[in-house]
């Protein structure tokens, strides 16, 4: 029977598919680390209190990248080049989601609308990351090889999502509510398209590595399209709702280290 657990287990059990999976994840986390570090450095003067939280977010992402590389190394493997069609963060930028890299490479301070755009983008993408890690944690939290990494990253992603909710609500109360809702909707609708395309690309690469039959590949592709259809109809709404999280101040203080992985 085809299930999320059996699919992930098949990918994890094969060295080639495992290192592709971890390489894709590590690349995305490293990119997120760089973006957050640049945003923290460019926060406008009136919002400097946000800078340590954004820097903490970036440090967590860097840590996750090191963790995925350490998992590859633990198997005696080397990372592989990430296929462009699986590069989630790059494709989001191409679709105009988040702050453009040319703006982050400049030395000019960002504006408050820039910060709101960053937070809205993060709220959407962290929803996806939190859900994906929750799925892995459900099935592999006790796995001797990846369980510790899954638990640590999952907790961090939950913290990131909580932080986005809290900060966006603060900006909404300051008068940016309509901009936030419009930006969240635009980001969510673009993200679900990119996620569909990346999911199809990843499954295509995995299918070639693992020798899946045409029937199995077609079944998985149909499932991905079905998820997209649901998200396009109504599922995207979960990505735009805002609620004060139970976990307040989730990114206050220094990031937790991961010496066992780094």
The tens digit of pLDDT for each residue in 139-183 reads 999 999 899 999 999 999 999 999 999 999 999 999 999 999 999
pLDDT reported for residue 19? 97
pLDDT reported for residue 247? 87
Per residue in 11-33, pLDDT (tens digit) is 999 999 999 999 999 999 999 99
Half-sphere exposure of 111 (CA within 13 A, CB side): 4
CA distance 40 to 17: 35
Q: Is the dihedral of CA 242, 192, 29, 94 positive or negative?
A: negative
pLDDT reported for residue 258? 56
CA distance 56 to 249: 12
Domain layout of the chain by residue ranges: 4-239
| DSSP single-letter state for residue 259 | T
3-state helix, strand, coil in the chain (%, to 5): 75, 0, 25
Contacts of 86 (CB under 8 A, 6+ apart): 24, 198, 201, 202, 205
pLDDT reported for residue 76? 96
Residue 7 has pLDDT above 90, yes or no: yes
pLDDT reported for residue 253? 72
75-97 per-residue burial string, b: 16 or more CB within 10 A, e: under 16: eeeebeebeeebbbbbbbbebeb
Q: Which CATH architecture has domain 4-239?
A: Up-down Bundle (1.20)
pLDDT reported for residue 262? 43
Half-sphere exposure of 110 (CA within 13 A, CB side): 28
Of 40, 35, 34, which is closest to residue 55 (Cα–Cα)? Answer: 40
Question: Average pLDDT of 118-124?
Answer: 97
154: left (phi over 0), alpha (psi -120 to 50) or beta: alpha
Contacts of 29 (CB under 8 A, 6+ apart): 61, 62, 64, 65, 68
- Identify the burial level of 41 via C-beta atoms within 10 angstroms of its C-beta, where 0-12 means exposed, 13-18 middle and 19 or more buried: middle
- The set of long-range contacts for 81-84, using a CB threshold of 8 Å and a minimum separation of 24, is 81/23, 82/23, 82/24, 82/27, 83/201, 83/205
| DSSP single-letter state for residue 174 | I
Beta strand ranges found along 130-196 (DSSP E): none
Averaged pLDDT of the chain = 94
Per residue in 52-105, pLDDT (tens digit) is 999 999 999 999 999 999 999 999 999 999 999 999 999 999 988 889 999 999
DSSP alpha helices (H): ranges in 43-146? 51-74, 88-94, 101-105, 112-140
Angle at 160 between CA 154 and CA 161, to 5 degrees: 90
Least confident of 38-47, 71-80, 186-195, 244-253: 244-253
């Amino acid at each position: 029977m085809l299930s999320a657990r059996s699919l992930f287990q098949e990918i994890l059990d094969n060295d080639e598919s495992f290192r592709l999976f971890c390489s894709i994840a590590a690349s995305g986390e490293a990119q997120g680390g760089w973006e957050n570090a640049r945003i923290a450095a460019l926060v406008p003067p009136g919002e400097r209190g946000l800078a340590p939280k954004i820097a903490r977010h970036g440090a967590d992402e860097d840590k996750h990248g090191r963790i995925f590389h350490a998992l590859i190394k633990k198997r005696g493997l080397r990372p592989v080049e990430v296929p462009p069609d699986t590069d989630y963060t790059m494709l989001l930028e191409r679709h105009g989601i988040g702050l453009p890299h040319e703006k982050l490479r400049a030395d000019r301070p960002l504006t408050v609308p820039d910060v709101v755009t960053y937070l809205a983008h993060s709220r959407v993408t962290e929803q996806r990351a939190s859900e994906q890690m929750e799925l892995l944690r459900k099935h592999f939290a006790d796995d001797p090889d990846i369980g510790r990494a899954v638990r640590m990253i999952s907790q961090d992603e939950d913290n990131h999502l909580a932080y986005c909710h809290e900060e966006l609500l603060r900006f909404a109360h300051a008068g940016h509510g309509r901009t936030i809702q419009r930006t969240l909707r635009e980001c969510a609708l673009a993200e679900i398209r990119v996620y569909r395309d990346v999911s199809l690309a990843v499954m295509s690469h995995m299918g070639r590595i693992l020798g899946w039959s045409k029937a199995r590949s077609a079944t998985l592709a149909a499932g991905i399209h079905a998820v997209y259809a649901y998200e396009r109809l109504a599922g995207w709404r979960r990505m735009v709702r805002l609620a004060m999280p139970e976990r307040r101040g989730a990114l206050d203080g220094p990031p937790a280290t991961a010496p066992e992985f780094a």
